[in-house]
Amino acid sequence: MLKFVLTKIGMAALVALTVSFISFILLFMAGDPAIAIAGEGASGKVIAAVRSQYGFDRPLLVQYFDWLIRALSGDFGMSFYFKTPVSGMIAERLPVTMTIGFLGMSFALLLAIPMGVLAAAFPNTLVDRLALGIAVVGQAIPSFWFGLVLIVVFSVNLGWVPASGTRQWTGYILPMIVLGYYATPAIMRLTRAGMLEVLSADYIRTARAKGIKPRRVLFKHALRNAIIPVVSLAAVQLGFMFGGSVVVETIFALHGAGYLAWESISRNDLPTMQALILIFAMFYIAFTFLADVLNAWLDPRLRTA
């Protein structure tokens, strides 16, 4: 198990390094940061002075390694637009994104896994069709439209929860539902498919023949093996939630890291964009790594795969 974990750590570090290099190069290719700082109407002399001041006239690889060394120590530089340390802004806003991300994934798992298990336990019945219908609807409706509908119904008309902000814990309810419902269809269908496959296995038939209670067979013997691909999918979906929370944070006026990403992109704030890309990528890589380790613990055969 230790060898498996160390191998995965090495792969994760290599992926993170590759992502940081590619994102750094692509952001510089998207436009001249010196022009973004000096302004579109700035003279060539002013742009050259800005380029020299910020070190943009150095070779690109030198700039990358200088940024990487500082980033590894938590220093992402100063924001071109906000004129404050990028690390401080991200540290202030990241808890909001993490909160709605974990809440959204918890909502998705609590909704999708029981639906998938019930759909597999009662295939081609009303329960199965209802679960599949909920999944299809969740996949079809856009997140921004669903969020606006929830605001109109539960905030404007009923007044049960606030429409925006995080001053109260109830402000996280609607964003949690929007994010979680977006991830529910894929998790539900994968759970259902895995359960159907496992329930037809020989060891399940043997367990039933021994007189083991159906509930014990379903949840202890079948779900343990069917849940393995769901763990990997949940890790990927959680990474998507963190990186793609900009829509939800914008709709519900949540000033998290996703909204900060939108602000930095619209204002061409290069240091903030670079830092957020790296942090979101690190979350994605970390969740995938944890999913691999958890799957290897659930199924020892994966350790030698």
> Could you tell me if 250 and 179 are in contact, meaning their C-beta atoms sit under 8 angstroms apart?
no
Instruction: Please check whether residue 79 lies inside any domain of the structure.
Output: no
Stronger pLDDT, 174 or 221, i.e. the higher one? 174
Q: How many domains does the chain have?
A: 1
Return the SS3 of 74. coil
Instruction: Please check whether residue 153 lies inside any domain of the structure.
Output: yes
pLDDT-derived band at 178, boundaries 50, 70, 90: confident
Instruction: Please check whether residue 222 lies inside any domain of the structure.
Output: yes
Map 209-278 to HEC letters. Answer: HCCCCHHHHHHHHHHHHHCHHHHHHHHHHHHHHHHCCHHHHHHCCCCCHHHHHHHHHHCCCHHHHHHHHH
pLDDT-derived band at 62, boundaries 50, 70, 90: confident
Percent of the chain with pLDDT over 70: 88
Structural domain including 215 reads 93-267
pLDDT for 40 equals 66
pLDDT-derived band at 97, boundaries 50, 70, 90: confident
Instruction: Please check whether residue 77 lies inside any domain of the structure.
Output: no
Instruction: Please check whether residue 189 lies inside any domain of the structure.
Output: yes
Q: How far apart are CA 89 and CA 274, in angstroms?
A: 13
pLDDT for 38 equals 67
Instruction: Please check whether residue 46 lies inside any domain of the structure.
Output: no
For 232-277, write each residue's pLDDT tens digit: 788 778 877 776 677 888 888 788 888 888 888 777 778 888 888 8
Over the chain, what is the mean pLDDT?
79
Q: How far apart are CA 294 and CA 50, in angstroms?
A: 49
Centre a 10 Å sphere on the Cβ of residue 136 and count the other Cβ atoms it contains.
Answer: 12
Instruction: Please check whether residue 284 lies inside any domain of the structure.
Output: no
Instruction: Please check whether residue 215 lies inside any domain of the structure.
Output: yes
pLDDT-derived band at 281, boundaries 50, 70, 90: confident
Which CATH number characterizes residue 213's domain?
1.10.3720.10
